[in-house]
Amino acid sequence: EYVIVDGEILDRTVAKVDIEDRGYQFGDGVYEVIRVYNGKMFTGKEHLNRLIESAEKIRMELPYSPEELESKMEELISKNELDTGIVYMQFTRGTSPRNHVFPGGDVAPTFVAYTRKVARPVESMEKGVRSILDEDIRWLRCDIKSLNLLGNLLSKQKAAEAGCFEAILHRGESVTEGSHSNISIVKDGVIITHQADNLILNGITRQKVLEICRNENISVDERAFTLDELSAADEVFSSGTTVEVMPIVEVDGKPVGTGNPGPVTRNLQDLFKAEIERQCGK
């Protein structure tokens, strides 16, 4: 199995990161997870552009262009002969004696990437999944895909302990997103999902779904919605790189609508799959 450390492709068994790496000590870094189907990255460019954007937002300049990153990922995918899965990549602000203040300009970011076989979650997408509600305790820059994931993983852990797939996060009465996905509801045929601001990650899958809705004239209302609107929804679905378009059929023990995936979500799943096939082949 090959990985990338500091831009070099090497065997996983010799991959090492220093104990004073700022990603390890402070979570001082940014990451991306990109889906691979038929050995090809899906929405690769959008993910790589967001990685660079996230880095800029924490005042970190990546020493690679999107094109260079894309070819490094393609090289890693082919060396690992990955067919269906993900490529994980992250940049930290580098290795330097522990100090909150940024290291000097001579310290280069630490670049790590690896691939993993991840099958499409076909059965879950067919049946739908369960979710819990949890308070969104995260900071106010959720638009940055940073390594600061404690708030996310504490909520996801609660969901897992409840035998659920996702935690739907809310700030008071207002629903934001999931611990590792964006959340949308459907009411009377209209898709409602939180606007892309500092309170959510502007998911690439979310953006692809909205693009599909525009092309198909499916009405969308990008706005925050309340817990009451969530519990009165006809359909709920989560979207993310690993989950694609995932019907949520139960929230905090209560069934959503009929308790089965609804027609709007089903249609989006079909349209999304067509987009995957258009970009990555069948």
> Torsions phi, psi of 134, nearest 5?
-150, 145
Q: Rounded to an integer, what distance in angstroms lies between the CA atom of residue 101 and that of residue 127? A: 49
State which residue, 95 or 237, has the beta carbon closest to ligand DCS.
237
Q: According to the binding rule CB under 6 A, does residue 245 interact with ligand DCS? A: no
Site for ligand DCS in 192-231 (CB under 6 A): 201, 203-206
> Does the annotation count 135 as an active-site position?
no
Q: What is the largest CA-CA distance in the chain?
A: 59
- β-strand pairing of 254-255 with 174-178: unpaired
**List 80, 182, 184, 265, residue binding ligand DCS (CB under 6 A):** 182
Q: How far is the CB of 93 from ligand DCS (least distance, A)?
A: 20
Q: In whole angstroms, how close is the CB of 211 to ligand DCS at the nearest point?
A: 12
Question: Per the structure block, which two tokens stand in for 139?
Answer: 């900071």
Indicate the residue type of 129: V
Burial string for 103-139 (b: 16+ CB within 10 Å, else e) reads beeeeebbbbbbbeeeebeeeebeebbbbbbbebebe
31 is catalytic: yes
Pick the stretch among 102-110, 158-166, 177-185, 259-267 that binds ligand DCS (CB under 6 A): 177-185
- As measured in angstroms, the least distance from the Cβ of 107 to ligand DCS is 26
145 is a catalytic site residue: yes
Taking the CA of residue 228 as centre, how many other CA atoms within 13 Å lie in the half-sphere pointing to its CB? 1
* Residue 160 neighbours by CB under 8 Å, 6+ apart: none
Near ligand DCS by CB under 6 A: residue from 3, 33, 132, 186: 33
The secondary structure of 88-123 as a DSSP string is: EEEEES-B-SS-SSPPPTTSPPEEEEEEEE----HH
Is 177 a known active-site residue? yes
Q: Which stretch binds ligand DCS (CB under 6 A): 68-76, 158-166, 176-184, 212-220?
A: 176-184
Structure tokens at 100: 């909150």
User: Of 32, 166, 177, 235, which is the active-site residue?
Assistant: 177
Q: Which CB atom, from 33 or from 280, has the smaller least distance to ligand DCS?
A: 33
| Total of residues contacting ligand DCS (CB under 6 A) | 15
User: Is 176 among the residues that bind ligand DCS (CB under 6 A)?
Assistant: no
Q: Which is nearer to ligand DCS, 96 or 193 (CB)?
A: 193
- Positions marked catalytic: 31, 145, 177, 201
The site for ligand DCS (CB under 6 A) is made up of 33, 152, 177, 180-182, 201, 203-206, 239-242
